[in-house]
Structure 1
Amino acid sequence: MKFVKMHGIGNDFIFVEDLENKLVEKESEIAIKVCDRHFGIGADGLVLIRSSEDCDIQMTIINSDGSKPNMCGNAIRCFSRYVYDKGFVKGKEFSVETGDGRKDIKLNLKDEEVTGVRVFMGKESYKASDIPLKEGLKEIINFKVDVCGNEVLLNTALVGVPHTVIIDNEDKFKTNFGKNIEKLEIFKEGSNINFIKIIDKDHIIVRTWERGAGETLACGTGACASVAILNRLGHVSENVEVTLPGGKLNIDLEEEGIYMTGPGEYICEGEIL
């Protein structure tokens, strides 16, 4: 089974072509095996390239622990470059089917080489039923909780997957503090946790604890959710540069929804024995 390994500002993935859906029954088992950094290739997730009846191409992602998120911002940028370079799509604009629905892609090209990927991520949702939250909660905005003796204000939105934002301008929390928050009973299915340092209205720093993967160098959906939430709270503008441990993304809030722009880079290719 041939593979290509790519990364989106440090968030790394193994790509395998599965146009005929032959790996469906074993996809979680395969992901756990190949993503292991000691006994496998090593990655944050496995991405399968599949055909689609409704879009130009389909992306399926499985986390390193075998769980299946609906969406991953860094993965879809890498995916978009891969399918363009391999000829699975024609032209610099195309659609991708994901677990979170259709995503529209626009590639930045220089001499036919992909230099960046702009993804329409849709609108964020704060609705309890979308995230989902436990019964009795309408939304989580400036929601006060006590975690391990620390008073924390939580803000949660869905951008493909649930994301909770904690403003941490004083660098009070290490990223792995997120493991104490992601499974709070207020979240029916857990939540990714993003720690934010606001530099100014056009620039923030984000550290993400990703459910199913732990601390990560970058999270595209987390960057989108962070900007959307902070904009709602009045802290940032509609066009924000987001610095993550692995690199930078540009997030733009427009009337129709959120746009994310960033790179997708190749690492290596080979064959899984």
Structure 2
Amino acid sequence: MTIPFYKYQGTGNDFVIIDNRNGNFTQLSTVEIAFLCDRRFGIGADGLMLLQLKDGYDFEMVYYNADGNEGSMCGNGGRCLVAFAKHLGVIDKNAEFLATDGFHEAKVLDNGWIELKMKDVNNIEKSPEYSILNTGSPHYIKWENDIAKTAVFDEGKRIRYSPPFFQEGINVNFVQLLNDTLNVRTYERGVENETLSCGTGVTAAAIAASNDSIGFQERKILTPGGELKVKFEKKSESSFENIWLCGPAKLVFAGTITL
């Protein structure tokens, strides 16, 4: 089977994207998806997405982690899929699509940035050292004094596989406020490693920071892969609405691969 594919990245979070509007690639196996995402033997990516037709929507987003298993919502992936939909002519400036966590809206800006509306957040678990919340995917936010020295892989893996998270997994974000900017590094479940950026993770970090004594207001966020912004309306200490993840989404290359 020969598969036409596109490779996109959003602040270094990279994805294999397949146009599945004809339904030809619905039956890709876990092993095949993991192979396509493999950086040595396949194309190489943090995840794989299918763009599919869905009644009542511009398209449907189906997302798989790099390990080949179907994943929860991916913010950077969603923005990349919107850019891909525009590339195909499926949308123009605005999109309405369905993902695993429900309905999403998106806007394509003239500067190439994509603004993606995320799900509302209605619960935050807090302690002095960390916060836990779900922004379409579950996130553990850990505050750091020197993020450059943080052992993201070792500490992230330890938390991700610790009780009560080891069964379902959780994404672990290490966050430092520095010069009015949130700096975020993330260990992602499903990739089981540090990624250059995590969209649902930076969204969770911005919300957690605004709900903490850290007092972050600007919503500008730096990841190892680049800059993102998050904007939202805070309704209460545990309720956040109209949440938008904003940043670039770029085509890297296109090609075909034979399985």
- DSSP-derived class of the 2:85 partner: helix
- Taking the TM superposition and a 5 Å limit, the aligned residue runs for 1:246-265 are 246-255=225-234, 256-265=241-250
Change (3 A) 1:207 1:266: same
1:164 corresponds to which residue?
Answer: 140
**Alignment partner of 2:182 out of 204, 216, 225:** 204
1:27 deviation in Å? Answer: 4.4
Q: Distance in 1 between matches of 2:132 and 2:221?
A: 18
- Taking the TM superposition and a 5 Å limit, the aligned residue runs for 1:1-273 are 1-89=3-91, 91-109=92-110, 115-126=112-123, 140-142=125-127, 153-171=129-147, 173-176=150-153, 177-187=155-165, 189-200=168-179, 202-213=180-191, 214-255=193-234, 256-273=241-258
Aligned AA (1:262): G
1:54 deviation in Å? Answer: 3.1
- DSSP-derived class of the 1:85 partner: helix
Q: Distance in 1 between matches of 2:169 and 2:47?
A: 18
1:133 corresponds to which residue?
Answer: none
Higher relative contact order (CA 8 A, sep 6+): 2
1:70 deviation in Å? Answer: 2.0
1:238 deviation in Å? Answer: 4.5
Over residues 77-124 of structure 1, what are the superposed CA-to-partner deviations in whole Å (9 max), with x where a residue is unaligned? 1111110121112x31121110011110011025xxxx1100111212
Aligned AA (1:240): R
Q: Distance in 2 between matches of 1:167 and 1:105?
A: 30
2:69 and 2:190 in contact (8 A); partners too: yes
Q: Distance in 2 between matches of 1:42 and 1:242?
A: 26
2:237 corresponds to which residue?
Answer: none
Aligned AA (2:145): N
Q: Distance in 2 between matches of 1:36 and 1:259?
A: 31
- List runs of 5+ in structure 1 lacking aligned partners: 127-138, 144-152
Q: Distance in 1 between matches of 2:122 and 2:29?
A: 29
Aligned pairs, how many?
A: 246
2:177 and 2:216 in contact (8 A); partners too: no
Q: Distance in 2 between matches of 1:125 and 1:7?
A: 30
Q: Distance in 2 between matches of 1:140 and 1:182?
A: 16
Q: Distance in 2 between matches of 1:71 and 1:11?
A: 14
- DSSP-derived class of the 1:109 partner: coil
- List runs of 5+ in structure 2 lacking aligned partners: 235-240
Same amino acid, percent of matched pairs: 31
1:56 and 1:95 in contact (8 A); partners too: yes
Q: Distance in 2 between matches of 1:238 and 1:168?
A: 18
1:121 and 1:259 in contact (8 A); partners too: yes
1:27 and 1:62 in contact (8 A); partners too: no
- DSSP-derived class of the 2:109 partner: strand
- DSSP-derived class of the 1:24 partner: coil
1:229 deviation in Å? Answer: 0.9
Q: Distance in 2 between matches of 1:51 and 1:18?
A: 8
Q: Distance in 1 between matches of 2:29 and 2:49?
A: 10
The TM-score normalised by the length of structure 1 is: 0.85
Q: Distance in 2 between matches of 1:198 and 1:140?
A: 20
1:6 and 1:14 in contact (8 A); partners too: yes
Q: Distance in 1 between matches of 2:23 and 2:214?
A: 45
1:170 deviation in Å? Answer: 2.7
1:235 deviation in Å? Answer: 1.9
